[in-house]
Amino acid sequence: MFCPKCKSILLPKKKGAKVQMVCGGCGYTSQEGKTIISEKIAASRGGNVEVVHKETEPLPTTDVICPKCGNKKAYYWFLQTRASDEPETQFLKCTACSHQWRVYD
């Protein structure tokens, strides 16, 4: 819900036993009785809830041998861990055993 005056987001605030929607920007308060705050569970819509047990890695992969298990694929990413005039550090994570290591250039 958004504030009709300044278009900021309204946040729930307890006032006694009731909850009102209040704007953090201009102080607008919704009128009592007009706002209903509720939670809905996705399964109540009749759909199934998919539970994902394994994390998916949205990272690129490269051909490199894992020093722990010998797997030949790993995810990689770069971070600037030293001074800006030095090269980035390459981090690798094995696709099989999730072992992480770094490569300094």
Catalytic residue numbers read: 85-86
> 96: phi > 0 → left, psi -120 to 50 → alpha, else beta; which?
alpha
Q: How many CA atoms lie within 13 A of 35 on its CB side?
A: 18
Burial of 31 (0-12, 13-18, 19+ CB in 10 A): exposed
3: which 2 tokens? Answer: 């504030």
